[in-house]
């Protein structure tokens, strides 16, 4: 991947996480009903949890123009998605809708793998 593609990927990651975080902040109820349906709805906790995707959005946006930041930011993202996928796998039977639990796990694990691949590529091309 060249510099332009990494920049585009990181901007896309930033915008996706910005959208996710804003959705959690602005409409925690609809977030819970759509993809957060584990246990009892807690709007405060959902807004608290929004702080991580919002921070990742800022970090990814900044990393888009700072090649030395790309591998570390992508590594943190891959680790977060991997841990998040594992948590969903462990709690899959607690999902308010069984299919949501399964699709959440698959999408999170797939994202972890893709981000891990990007992190590996970024580390190979990072300035020394």
**Residues 42, 62: Cα–Cα separation, whole Å:** 31
| Joined tokens for residue 100 | 């949501």
DSSP annotation of 66:
-
In this predicted structure, what is the pLDDT of residue 101?
A: 73
Residue length of the chain = 128
In this predicted structure, what is the pLDDT of residue 45?
A: 93
pTM of the model: 0.87
In this predicted structure, what is the pLDDT of residue 127?
A: 58
| Joined tokens for residue 40 | 């009892």
pLDDT beneath 70: ranges in the chain = 96-98, 126-128
């Amino acid at each position: 991947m060249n510099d332009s593609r990494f920049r585009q990927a990181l901007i896309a990651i930033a915008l996706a996480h910005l959208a996710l975080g804003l959705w959690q902040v602005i409409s925690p109820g609809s977030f819970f009903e759509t993809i957060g349906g584990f246990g009892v709805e807690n709007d405060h906790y959902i807004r608290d949890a929004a702080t991580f995707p919002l921070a990742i959005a800022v970090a990814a946006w900044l990393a888009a123009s700072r090649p030395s930041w790309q591998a570390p930011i992508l590594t943190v993202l891959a680790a977060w998605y991997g841990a998040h996928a594992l948590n969903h796998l462990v709690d899959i039977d607690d999902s308010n809708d069984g299919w949501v639990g399964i699709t959440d796990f698959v999408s999170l694990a797939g994202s972890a793998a893709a981000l891990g691949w990007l992190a590996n590529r970024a580390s190979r091309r990072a300035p020394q």
